[in-house]
Chain A
């Protein structure tokens, strides 16, 4: 039996890195709280004053993969803070001619980008971009790896739906809450980021799905995670249920019988009524209505799916602000902790 042990946070070697968001695991819980508070502060601010915060600062949105919600909300977030944005997508740029990620990043930096928001189909691509450009990079979803801004906006959505305060200490924000994440966990960066974050905020995470889409190794993401293959049994424990789409584009050699899948794992009205009549229903989108979720549930009174999208803008404002504005006055202690960590970060031992 493999041991359940969290994989340590990656070291933060540069200040650009500390203002990047590559993995949710690199954010301490107090930093998560600070981002949540900043999101609210920015959201509530007078739009004219807010638009002066990052006036004429340059933010690049580099998207190698299709996106509706993430791209639009990052763009609206940057614009809401007054920043200039440039959108580069793989279909209408020199990426089509074979330009590398490194050269694309260097080009954007030369054009004055101070922060790059990257959506990429390859896991880990944001690490490479941060390394070669030295700029803060916000991971807007990389392959099957992570989608950290989604996890943060999900937490914001959960807190609001549960009518909890975001002013509580980070470790207790979701104390006593059980979140069931159901579906294609294997290919889901949203599932990884949430499973890595929610237990640290006090929640219990139950992953649910068939073995082909949810291997046992998922337990080793960290503590506070369990697997329940029976969706109804999982639902009975849930205050929150998060549904995921089957990522057909990433299924390599995995065959899923959709009819069987639907009967066992679809969140529909009957199932919700029987097992979780009070639970909050979430979905990161895009949804395939009629497959993992029925229309009645997606549009029903328990659904906060549209709230998730709305919260994306506030969270992403906070992340862009954090990337571009020197955090020293607000989190001096955290910055110091990073500085102390640095000397050891690059040292190598012998085998």
Chain B
């Protein structure tokens, strides 16, 4: 594999504590060296490296999304691994962790391997998250040890929360033995039957059944209690797409008590509120639902004060005909891979003055660390040559029609984004280049 010299850019790599002008030399899919401007010219010449000019641009470790739905196997009409990872590359992501709610559910070594095969033609590295229980039915655990050996990086029954106490207890214990986190979609589904948006005045006004905050917070609290009852202390609970202030408080408290609880938040939960539902806009329908302004602000605060570990998109593609239905019938979810960086830069960096370094921590370093993705989320020598190069000042209009994803179910169509991805490199290969 050929070599590349990324020259003249501003390197932001929180894993190495670098936020300065640096050149980056990549070779054979790995990072070879990071040096001040000009210092790698000789080495680059020797390696016959392709020169990539990054003047005025930010160079950072490729973004890591630990929560995506790639829909393969089984629902290729919504997305394939090829199209989903193409969207990832366009959004600056080089690693994506794929949830197991495929058809069939990814609860086996075979499916876990199938998803990682180069025959899927991926533009980013796919890390499967395997089902925590067989068929995600919440009854019997899957084989965590062999799933991990096959490449699974976590277990989860995402979308079908593990409600039973005994089985959740078993899952946490078995995952701790295997060295895997358990990711829980925290929703007490007994409290959300027939619900399609956040509970409150707007749901009442629209005549829609609302999901109460307690359905999320209650299950997070339950899971934390189960975690605290486990002996050994190695178990890791990760709360997926946190959306409520109450659940965040529960996570904060657990962490103060020394428990290994981590959490993620999706851009739509710190950018939008339930008012986006408007006239029954199905592109504002997702689970967890868009919440009240106070919850949105709490998510923002959690990102600012560090109690939220990372940003994850919950990229959930659905076909047009599925979203063009009655609100209550339309499936939950929106795409997110191509809008995450632009929204985050605009809101966190420009409006809330969060440093680029902190932003890359939330979008790359920490998510990679959470799921132990070795050599990802970092550009130290020896790490994978996963790089995003973006212009942090460029504004652009996000067009759903121009998406690389197979689906265009996004509420951000027509929004002005900040920060344009110029190039994405995955394991030394250019997988996206802006026109």
B207 is contacted by which of A123, A132, A348 (Cβ under 8 Å)? A123
Q: Which of B10-18, B197-205, B402-410 interfaces with chain A?
A: B197-205
Q: A182-232: which have CB < 8 Å to B?
A: 186, 189, 192, 215, 217-218, 220-221
The reply to whether B204 and A220 contact each other, CB–CB distance below 8 Å, is yes
Majority SS of interface residues in chain B?
loop
A114-139: CB near B (< 8 Å → 1, else 0) gives: 00000010111101100010000000
The reply to whether A146 and B280 contact each other, CB–CB distance below 8 Å, is no
B interface residue count range (under 10 / 10 to 19 / 20 to 34 / 35 or more): 20 to 34
The reply to whether B193 and A253 contact each other, CB–CB distance below 8 Å, is yes
The reply to whether B327 and A122 contact each other, CB–CB distance below 8 Å, is yes
The reply to whether B329 and A122 contact each other, CB–CB distance below 8 Å, is yes
* Residues of A close to B346: CB separation below 8 A: 350-351
A48-91: CB near B (< 8 Å → 1, else 0) gives: 00000000000000000000000000000000000000000000
Q: Which of B173-181, B246-254, B271-279 interfaces with chain A?
A: B271-279
* A120 to chain B: closest residue by CB: B326
How many Å lie between the Cα of A272 and that of B96 in the bound state? Answer: 66
Q: Does B75 contact A (CB under 8 A)?
A: no
Q: Does A156 contact B (CB under 8 A)?
A: no
Q: Does B77 contact A (CB under 8 A)?
A: no
The reply to whether A101 and B326 contact each other, CB–CB distance below 8 Å, is yes
The reply to whether B200 and A145 contact each other, CB–CB distance below 8 Å, is no
Q: How far is the CB of A83 from chain B (nearest CB, A)?
A: 27
How many Å lie between the Cα of A183 and that of B328 in the bound state? Answer: 25
Q: Does A144 contact B (CB under 8 A)?
A: yes
Query: Known: A100-B325, A101-B325. Is A215-B416 also a contact (CB below 8 A)?
Result: no
The reply to whether B414 and A189 contact each other, CB–CB distance below 8 Å, is no
The reply to whether A124 and B194 contact each other, CB–CB distance below 8 Å, is no
A221 is contacted by which of B204, B327, B343 (Cβ under 8 Å)? B204
The reply to whether B207 and A146 contact each other, CB–CB distance below 8 Å, is yes
* Residues of B close to A215: CB separation below 8 A: 204
The reply to whether A142 and B207 contact each other, CB–CB distance below 8 Å, is yes
How many Å lie between the Cα of A207 and that of B415 in the bound state? Answer: 41
Q: Does A233 contact B (CB under 8 A)?
A: no
Q: How far is the CB of A199 from chain B (nearest CB, A)?
A: 14
* Residues of A close to B415: CB separation below 8 A: 348, 350
How many Å lie between the Cα of A125 and that of B208 in the bound state? Answer: 12
The reply to whether B204 and A218 contact each other, CB–CB distance below 8 Å, is yes
Q: How far is the CB of A340 from chain B (nearest CB, A)?
A: 20
The reply to whether A132 and B324 contact each other, CB–CB distance below 8 Å, is yes
B174-216: CB near A (< 8 Å → 1, else 0) gives: 0000000000000000000110000011101111110000000
Q: How far is the CB of A234 from chain B (nearest CB, A)?
A: 20
Q: B301-343: which have CB < 8 Å to A?
A: 321, 324-329, 343
The reply to whether A221 and B414 contact each other, CB–CB distance below 8 Å, is no
Q: How far is the CB of A99 from chain B (nearest CB, A)?
A: 12
Q: Does B347 contact A (CB under 8 A)?
A: yes
A10 is contacted by which of B201, B279, B321, B343 (Cβ under 8 Å)? B279
Q: How far is the CB of A195 from chain B (nearest CB, A)?
A: 10
Q: Does A310 contact B (CB under 8 A)?
A: no
* Residues of B close to A221: CB separation below 8 A: 201, 204-205
How many Å lie between the Cα of A123 and that of B209 in the bound state? Answer: 10
The reply to whether A217 and B201 contact each other, CB–CB distance below 8 Å, is yes
How many Å lie between the Cα of A217 and that of B212 in the bound state? Answer: 13
Query: Known: A120-B326, A122-B326, A217-B204. Is A127-B279 also a contact (CB below 8 A)?
Result: yes
The reply to whether B208 and A144 contact each other, CB–CB distance below 8 Å, is yes
Q: How far is the CB of A43 from chain B (nearest CB, A)?
A: 30
Query: Known: A350-B346, A350-B416. Is A124-B201 also a contact (CB below 8 A)?
Result: no
Query: Known: A124-B279, A217-B200, A351-B272. Is A252-B209 also a contact (CB below 8 A)?
Result: yes
A125 is contacted by which of B205, B326, B347, B416 (Cβ under 8 Å)? B326
How many Å lie between the Cα of A148 and that of B416 in the bound state? Answer: 37
How many Å lie between the Cα of A342 and that of B206 in the bound state? Answer: 23
* B270 to chain A: closest residue by CB: A351
Q: Does A143 contact B (CB under 8 A)?
A: yes
Query: Known: A2-B201, A350-B415, A351-B272. Is A192-B207 also a contact (CB below 8 A)?
Result: yes
* B413 to chain A: closest residue by CB: A348
Q: Does A1 contact B (CB under 8 A)?
A: no
How many Å lie between the Cα of A128 and that of B325 in the bound state? Answer: 7
Q: Does A7 contact B (CB under 8 A)?
A: yes
The reply to whether A128 and B280 contact each other, CB–CB distance below 8 Å, is yes
* Residues of B close to A143: CB separation below 8 A: 207-208, 328
Q: A253-286: which have CB < 8 Å to B?
A: 253
The reply to whether B208 and A123 contact each other, CB–CB distance below 8 Å, is yes
Task: Output the residue of B207, B271, B278, B347 with the most chain A CB within 10 A.
Answer: B207
Query: Known: A127-B279, A217-B200, A351-B346. Is A144-B326 also a contact (CB below 8 A)?
Result: no
* B205 to chain A: closest residue by CB: A7
Query: Known: A143-B328, A144-B208. Is A124-B280 also a contact (CB below 8 A)?
Result: yes
B278 is contacted by which of A10, A144, A350 (Cβ under 8 Å)? A10
* Residues of B close to A10: CB separation below 8 A: 278-279
The reply to whether B201 and A220 contact each other, CB–CB distance below 8 Å, is yes
Q: How far is the CB of A158 from chain B (nearest CB, A)?
A: 23
The reply to whether B206 and A102 contact each other, CB–CB distance below 8 Å, is no
Query: Known: A10-B278, A100-B321, A143-B328. Is A124-B271 also a contact (CB below 8 A)?
Result: no
B326-366: CB near A (< 8 Å → 1, else 0) gives: 11110000000000000100110000000000000000000
* Residues of A close to B201: CB separation below 8 A: 2, 7, 217, 220-221
* A25 to chain B: closest residue by CB: B205
* Residues of A close to B329: CB separation below 8 A: 122
B324 is contacted by which of A102, A123, A144, A192 (Cβ under 8 Å)? A102
* A10 to chain B: closest residue by CB: B279
Q: B397-432: which have CB < 8 Å to A?
A: 414-416
* A129 to chain B: closest residue by CB: B326
How many Å lie between the Cα of A221 and that of B200 in the bound state? Answer: 11
The reply to whether A351 and B271 contact each other, CB–CB distance below 8 Å, is yes
How many Å lie between the Cα of A221 and that of B203 in the bound state? Answer: 11
Q: How far is the CB of B398 from chain A (nearest CB, A)?
A: 11
A1-42: CB near B (< 8 Å → 1, else 0) gives: 010000100100000000000100000000000000000000
What 6 new A-B contacts, CB under 8 Å, besides A122-B327, A143-B208? A100-B325, A123-B328, A124-B208, A128-B280, A144-B207, A189-B207
On A, residues with C-beta under 8 Å from B are: 2, 7, 10, 22, 100-102, 120, 122-125, 127-128, 132, 142-146, 186, 189, 192, 215, 217-218, 220-221, 252-253, 348, 350-351
Closest 10 CB pairs of A and B: A145-B207, A124-B280, A144-B207, A220-B201, A123-B207, A122-B326, A351-B271, A124-B327, A217-B201, A217-B204
Q: List 11 contacting pairs A-B, 8 Å CB cutoff, sorted by A.
A: A7-B205, A10-B278, A100-B321, A124-B207, A128-B326, A144-B207, A144-B208, A145-B208, A221-B201, A221-B205, A252-B194
